Amino acid sequence: MSEEYELIAAPRWHSSRAAVYHDDNRCYEGYLIKLSDLRSGSGGRPRCAKCESLGEPAGSRLSP
């Protein structure tokens, strides 16, 4: 029996006032972004060091 798996990508977000993007909902710094400054995507910024240290983004997992 063969199973296929799909990678579910975690959304990326950034603040209009910061130099990094976030992709892990466990990142406290990403959580604190004010709604008025919140932007979708990476914005061409590097990944947040805290998100990087958390490893694989929460929400990114293999699902059958």
Q: List the beta bridge partners of residue 38.
A: 15
Q: pTM score, two decimals?
A: 0.73
Domain limits, the chain: 10-57
Per residue in 7-59, pLDDT (tens digit) is 556 689 999 999 999 999 899 999 999 999 999 999 999 999 999 999 876 55
Quick one: which of 32, 27, 17 has its CA closest to 47?
27
The type of residue at 43 is G
Indicate the pairing of strand 6-7 with strand 13-15.
unpaired
Predicted confidence at residue 10, as pLDDT, reads 65
Q: Provide the pLDDT for residue 55.
A: 83
